[in-house]
Amino acid sequence: MDRTDGSHWLYSYLPQGVAGGATSTLIPLFAYALGGTLLTVGIIAAATSLASVPAFILWGSLSDRFARRKVFLLIGFVGSGIALLAMAVSRNMSQFYLANLLAGFLGAASGPAGTVLLMETSKRAEWPARLALVSRIGAIGWVAGLGLGIAWLAIGPGLVSAELSSMRALFVIGAALGLLSGLLVQVWTREPAVRVDRRDVHLPDVHPRIERGRYLPIRILHFVNPLDWRRKVRLSRTLRLYLVCVFLLFGGFTAFYGFFPIFLKESYGLGSPEIFAVYIASQATSIAMYPHVGRWVSARGDRSTQLYASLGRSMLFPSFLLVGMAALPYGARLGVAIALHAGVGLCWALINVAGSTLVSRLAPENGRAEAFGTYNAVQGFGSILGPLLGGFAAQYLGYAMAFGASVGLILSGCAILAATRVSER
């Protein structure tokens, strides 16, 4: 088959990944510094997910309908840059809400288009390797972005006279990187001559995927299109039960991240650079473990792996609360937080790979695309509930109840997963 270009355009994901790593953790910290509350921080994360879930459907459907990929990749990258610039100049919470809604809406455009473009510019046999490459590029960029955040937030306040001003400057740096990604797409990418129908692609996502406190994945292949009635696929009862489990698990995960950075600031007394360091421990650990996770899942089974990894998180999350209550010196508290969050990152790698392989096994033969699309959508819905619940509990009931709400959702999901009768092979 004739393909239009090589793989160098995939490296446009690198500056975009750096921008995401530098600003994702910054968003709740900036909102809190801007005068927001724990509840408003949770609302911001939920708002981004609320905008992105229907946006993935809109942009993905338009991309498929008009058989265009490059323009939507540009909208996603350039739109993310514009949204980050809007965050940098926000002077109140209303403006910051709108900037985050914009990030969710425009940023979603690149996910469905970029993933299919990757396949349309390579041979079918190369798809797994290409997916792995773009996943590594984005993940490495994300960790580099967190490192950039640590460095800038450590030296920035001395250069621009205030921490809030240094945060604004970091948003501007992230915006510039997003626009750079758009420029690279414009220069390196052409519309492919070959077309791929995403519904005919049934690859489980077992490659590195960045965990965020909101639903805005860098790449997404399948999505639910409620306007497409050409194929009506009935999912099995077991798969429907599993999707309820996924909703609860992701609600619990994002409930935790809805208040976690502010908890580290208030209860641990950590500064912004140290909070970024805690986050880099999770991301770096999950990326390092991905090459090994596939073998572990194959050896132990996808259902059991996801169950035990989720239970692990249900124990790790409240451990942060216990450490915060202990009379530990600053350095020891920071070290324990980094170690605990590294464990959280390991659990994420296991959960992500096991979940994708489990959905692949449970999906009906004639409805794999619909099953994966529903799986992605359910994660998004959970990411709307979670930050709202976590932020509300932290604001009005205290951190102990917020941790309890997060763990409660996770354990509820684990109970359903444990009760679901699924063979391990």
Cβ neighbours, 10 Å, residue 176: 14
Q: Does 164 share its domain with 279? A: no
Task: Judge whether 198 lies within some domain.
Answer: no
Do 189 and 238 have their domain in common?
Answer: no
Q: Which of 144, 172, 193 is the last residue of a domain?
A: 193
Smallest CA-to-CA distance from 407 within 320, 343, 295, 282 is with 320
Pair (342, 395) in one structural domain: yes
Q: Output the CA angle 115-119-125, nearest 5 degrees.
A: 135
On whether both 189 and 242 belong to a single domain, the answer is: no
For residue 197, the model assigns a pLDDT of 81
Q: What is the pLDDT of residue 214?
A: 87
Contact 146, 283 (CB under 8 A): yes
For residue 96, being part of any structural domain is answered with yes
In a domain, 393, yes or no: yes
Residue 147 and residue 244 in one domain: no
Which residue is it, tokens 């790979």? 353
Contacts of 60 (CB under 8 A, 6+ apart): 111, 112, 113, 198, 220, 223, 225
Phi/psi class of residue 269: alpha, beta or left (left: φ > 0; alpha: ψ in -120 to 50)?
left
Q: Residue 213's closest CA among 406, 414, 417?
A: 406
Per-residue pLDDT at 1: 35
Which of 193, 216, 243 marks a domain boundary? 193
3-class SS of residue 260 = helix
Same-domain check for residues 172 and 243: no
- Give me the CATH number covering residue 141: 1.20.1250.20
Count CA within 13 A, CB hemisphere, residue 366.
5
If we measure between CA atoms, which residue out of 299, 317, 314 comes closest to residue 414? 314
Q: How far apart are the first and last CA of the chain?
A: 35
The DSSP 8-state label assigned to residue 10 in this structure reads: G
Q: Which two tokens stand for residue 20?
A: 């995401």
pLDDT in tens, 300-309: 888 999 999 9
Q: Which of 301, 246, 235, 255 is nearest to 412 (CA)?
A: 246
Cα 124 to chain centroid, rounded? 27
The domain of 109 spans: 1-193
Count of beta carbons in the 10 Å neighbourhood of residue 192: 22
Integer Cα distance of 316 and 256 in angstroms = 11
Structure confidence at residue 4 (pLDDT): 43
**Which residue has 């096994």 as its token pair?**
361
Residue 2 tokens, joined: 């004739």
Residues 281 and 368 occupy one common structural domain: yes
- Whether residue 199 is contained in a domain is answered as no
Predicted confidence at residue 189, as pLDDT, reads 87
Contact yes or no for 384/247 (Cβ under 8 A) = no
Confidence (pLDDT) at 409: 98
Same domain, 154 and 287: no
Distance, in Å, from the CA atom of 177 to the CA atom of 24, rounded to the nearest integer, reads 14
What pLDDT sits at residue 264?
97
Residues contacting 292, CB < 8 A, separation 6+: none
CA distance readout (Å), 64 to 2, 71, 186, 411: 20, 12, 20, 39
Instruction: Give the chain's residues under pLDDT 50.
Output: 1-5, 229
Residue 188 lies in a domain: yes
Decide: 197 and 42 in contact? Cβ < 8 Å.
no
Q: Which residues contact 77 (CB under 8 A, 6 or more apart)?
A: 12, 16, 110, 178, 179, 181, 182, 185
Backbone angles phi, psi at 81, to 5 degrees: -60, -45
Given this model, what pLDDT does residue 126 score? 83
Task: Convert the pLDDT of each residue in 387-404 to its tens digit.
Answer: 999 999 999 999 999 999
Structure-block tokens of residue 104:
């969710």
267 & 140 share domain: no
Does 204 map to a domain?
Answer: no
Contact 323, 333 (CB under 8 A): yes
Instruction: Give the pLDDT confidence score for residue 191 in this predicted structure.
Output: 84
* Geometric angle at alpha carbon 185, from 183 and 187, rounded to 5°: 70
Q: Where among 193, 217, 246 does a domain terminate? A: 193
- 178 and 33, same structural domain? yes
Q: What is the pLDDT of residue 142?
A: 95
